[in-house]
Amino acid sequence: MRHLSFKTQSANEKIVQRNWYVVDATNQTLGRMASKIAHVLRGKNKAYYTPHFDCGDHVIVINSGKVVLTGNKLADKEYLTYSGHPGGQKAETAKNLIQRRPNLMIERAVKGMLPKNRLGRAMAKKLFVYEEATHPHTAQQPKELK
């Protein structure tokens, strides 16, 4: 009896089809939404997912200021930045950050769930976050991401 050998095909530029998805952040929990977005950016939702190749899709997030944090995170969660100089560390609460720069909160949550290398940085470039319900990517005909 002969064994049939099927070669597993590794993803490459010829195979990969990049789709565009739009996510409405209104009344969505930050962490749960960010993990779904990171999953799509990595390409793990595709049958031909390959860990060493960027086969993910583009994701557009709208209404970023209407994202929800559970528990006391709005008052307790702190975002730290460090300039590299002595005494250059600054802390900002989630409440202040969501008022000042709501896009940054979603971007940081998603980036933290991507690989920490040049591949992860390439995946993060396919994330577009907007504060309003409108976005300039209508020509790409993005689909609704459930």
pLDDT in tens, 97-126: 999 999 999 999 999 999 999 999 999 999
Say what the pTM is: 0.90
In this predicted structure, the answer to whether residue 2 has a pLDDT above a threshold of 90 is: no
Kindly indicate the confidence band of residue 1, based on its pLDDT and cuts at 50, 70 and 90.
Answer: low
pLDDT score of 146? 82
Alpha helices (runs of H) in 1-146, residue ranges in sequence order: 30-42, 73-76, 94-100, 102-111, 118-124
In this predicted structure, the answer to whether residue 84 has a pLDDT above a threshold of 90 is: yes
Rounded mean pLDDT of 31-58?
94
What are the residue boundaries of the structural domains of the chain, listed by start?
20-69+100-144
CATH superfamily, domain at 20-69+100-144:
Ribosomal protein L13 (3.90.1180.10)
